[in-house]
Amino acid sequence: EKRDMTQIELMDMIEDFKFPESKNGSILFSVIGGRISEGMDFPAEQLEIVIIVGIPYPKPTAKQKGLQRYYDIKFGKGWEYAVEAPTARKLMQAIGRLIRNKDDKGIAIILDRRAARFKKYIKDLKESKNLLNDIDNFYSYLGNRSGIPSLIG
């Protein structure tokens, strides 16, 4: 997804992703907080893996720091309310592209060790010691498992 992409260009790109010319599948890159990571629907096998590079913490602007300070003064939970919860929501939105109904399956890979901080929000979060092996295992058991195994790589 490009910064100034029109809705028509975006939909054309999504169409190419969902119905690739190659039988080998396709890869779609997006940014957290963009239209694809928060609003697109990819049912069934249209999307099987989401790879998140980095943690989408809010930018440390004066406004963000003020909000964190306000929550600290008001509730004693500035970091949790102003930083952690919104970041967890963005992560879960991106991961949620995989599972749109009870029959969908997928694997989410978060390439950032700080992801472990979000275990309370992402219940199936597991650290991977061998990412490629874990992905192979996921596909081996695909027919027998449900939900999203999220891995920290």
**Residue 75 domain-assigned?**
yes
**Residue 61 domain-assigned?**
yes
Using alpha carbons, select from 18, 55, 38 the residue that is nearest to residue 28. Answer: 18
- 3-state SS, the chain, equals CCCCCCHHHHHHHHHHHHCCCCCCCCCCCCCCCCHHHHHCCCCHHHCCEEEEECCCCCCCCHHHHHHHHHHHHHHCCHHHHHHHHHHHHHHHHHHCCCCCCCCCECEEEEECHHHHHHCCCCCCEEECCCHHHHHHHHHHCHHHCCECCEEEC
**Residue 1 domain-assigned?**
no
**Residue 84 domain-assigned?**
yes
pLDDT the model gives residue 28: 79
pLDDT the model gives residue 140: 80
Tally of domains within the chain: 1
pLDDT digits (tens, 9 = 90+) for 121-140: 988 888 898 888 888 888 78
**Residue 2 domain-assigned?**
no
Phi, psi (deg, nearest 5) at residue 110: -110, 110
**Residue 59 domain-assigned?**
yes
pLDDT the model gives residue 152: 54
CATH number at residue 132: 3.40.50.300
- Quickly count: other Cβ atoms within 10 Å of residue 36's Cβ: 20
Neighbouring residues of 101: CB distance < 8 A, sequence distance ≥ 6: 43
Give the mean pLDDT of the chain: 85
Q: What is the pTM of this model?
A: 0.78
Lowest mean pLDDT among 19-23, 46-50, 94-98, 123-127: 19-23
pLDDT digits (tens, 9 = 90+) for 48-81: 888 899 999 999 999 999 999 999 999 999 999 9
Range of the domain at 18: 7-152
**Residue 12 domain-assigned?**
yes
**Residue 114 domain-assigned?**
yes
